[in-house]
Amino acid sequence: MDYENAEKILEVKHLKQYFNVGKADEVRAVDDISFDIYKGETFGLVGESGSGKTTTGRAIIHLYEPTSGEILFDGKNVDSFTSKKDQHDFRQEMQMIFQDPYASLNPRMKVKDIVAEGIDINHLAKDDADRTKQVEDLLETVGLNKDHSSRYPHEFSGGQRQRIGIARALAVNPKFVIADEPISALDVSIQAQVVNLMKKLQREQGLTYLFIAHDLSMVKYISDRIGVMHYGRMLEIADADEIYAHPLHDYTKSLLSAVPVPDPEFERTREEIAYDGSQENDGKERHLVEIAPRHWVRAAEDEVFMYKQRAQEASLIKE
């Protein structure tokens, strides 16, 4: 990625997404996070369950009304799309691939109707023949057969279903695709197929991805940049290679040290780093600070120096 001339496609500014606001069981699922996504890149979002990564994805595609904060898509505030037309246009440009290929396809609809639903809603087909052709082209793009179009979802395996989900997302020619754990329900050998497909489509159609997952090695493989979330906060953002080679935040270090690697020799000596989450709740004001070029860490003012030192030790910055 050439970030010098990159254009922002999505800007998330101080997004807060609370549930049960004002009640005793208020949940701060996403608590003041800010980040940008550039055109044509894959931004990976990682974190444990409950870290708020899925909520962030859903807030971006406006499945929730944010508690506060702004989401700008192509420079326009997502909240301002109030008319039906604006909403249609927005949903056409931003699509989602869901985690569970079993639950996210309507079992009573044929594959061609599932894939064509967006085409119909947005009136993208001239006539029936055009609709059929579009569906068949899409199925071919994702590696399925056009004969599959008159079948029902239960006739497909998990990997094939996920391909149908991808075809459905692509049917409306989106610019931006949110993939929420798109491969976690799939077998190892099939995961690689789906990831390769997503990469190929990105190259061919210039798509931008927000890739949400907890499988850290797969996220690193597919992403250009990665954001690490914990307790609803963004703790670190950096280029994928850099964040894995030189994590600066203690939580990122801990998370990476827990990933099992398919190498017995390495596993025998792998040392895990524990992380104490309470250090985030000491009452200090913390913000994302750019510690090294394009490497952001959530830090209090008196911690910046320490992180800069860590960055120096890793030769991310000089002096």
Partner 1 sequence: MDNEKDILEVRNLQVNFKTYAGDVKAIRNVSFDLRKGETLAIVGESGSGKSVTTRTIMGLNASNADITSGSIVYKGQDLLKKSEKEMQAIRGQDIAEIFQDPMTSLDPTMKIGRQIAEPLMVHKGMKKEKALAQALEMMKLVGITDAENRINDYPHQFSGGMRQRIVIAIALINYPEILIADEPTTALDVTIQSQILHLMKELQDKISTSIIFITHDLGVVAGMADRVAVMYAGKIVEYGTVDEVFYNPKHPYTWGLLSSMPTLDSSGDSLPSIPGTPPDLLDPPTGDAFAARNAYALKIDTEQEPPFFKVSDTHYAATWLLHPDAPKVTPPAQIVERQEKYATMQKAWLKTQQSTTPVEEEEEQQ
Residue 44 near partner 1 by CB under 8 A: no
**Of the candidates 179, 218, 229, 248, which one interacts with partner 1 according to CB under 8 A?**
218
Minimal distance in Å, beta carbon 193 to partner 1?
Answer: 5
Task: Name the token pair of 242.
Answer: 């850099």
> Among residue numbers 240 through 259, which ones bind partner 1 (CB under 8 A)?
241, 244, 254-256, 258-259
Q: In what order do the strands lie in the sheet with 8-19?
A: 27-38, 8-19, 68-73, 76-77
Q: In what order do the strands lie in the sheet with 233-239?
A: 94-97, 176-180, 208-212, 42-46, 225-230, 233-239, 295-299, 287-292
**Of the candidates 49, 82, 278, 281, which one interacts with partner 1 according to CB under 8 A?**
49
Compare residues 270 and 294 and give the one whose CB is closer to partner 1.
Answer: 270
Residue 151 near partner 1 by CB under 8 A: no
CA atoms within a 13 Å half-sphere pointing along the CA-CB vector of 295: 25
> Among residue numbers 187 through 206, which ones bind partner 1 (CB under 8 A)?
187-193, 195-196, 199-200
Residue 276 near partner 1 by CB under 8 A: no
- The long-range contacts involving 183-189, CB below 8 angstroms and separated by at least 24 positions, are 183/213, 183/215, 183/218, 184/99, 184/213, 184/214, 184/215, 185/99, 185/100, 185/101, 185/102, 185/158, 186/101, 186/158, 186/159, 186/162, 187/158, 187/159
CB of 26 closer than 8 Å to CB of 206: no
Site size toward partner 1, by CB under 8 A: 42
Task: Name the token pair of 13.
Answer: 């500014």
Compare residues 171 and 183 and give the one whose CB is closer to partner 1.
Answer: 183
Minimal distance in Å, beta carbon 272 to partner 1?
Answer: 6
Task: List beta partners, residue 72.
Answer: 11, 77
Residue 1 near partner 1 by CB under 8 A: no
- Part in contact with partner 1 (CB under 8 A); list of ranges 34-42, 87-95, 261-269, 292-300: 261-269
**Of the candidates 267, 290, 301, 313, which one interacts with partner 1 according to CB under 8 A?**
267
Compare residues 118 and 165 and give the one whose CB is closer to partner 1.
Answer: 165
Compare residues 28 and 214 and give the one whose CB is closer to partner 1.
Answer: 214
Contact footprint for partner 1 (CB under 8 A): 48-49, 157-160, 187-193, 195-196, 199-200, 214, 216-218, 220-221, 241, 244, 254-256, 258-268, 270, 272, 275
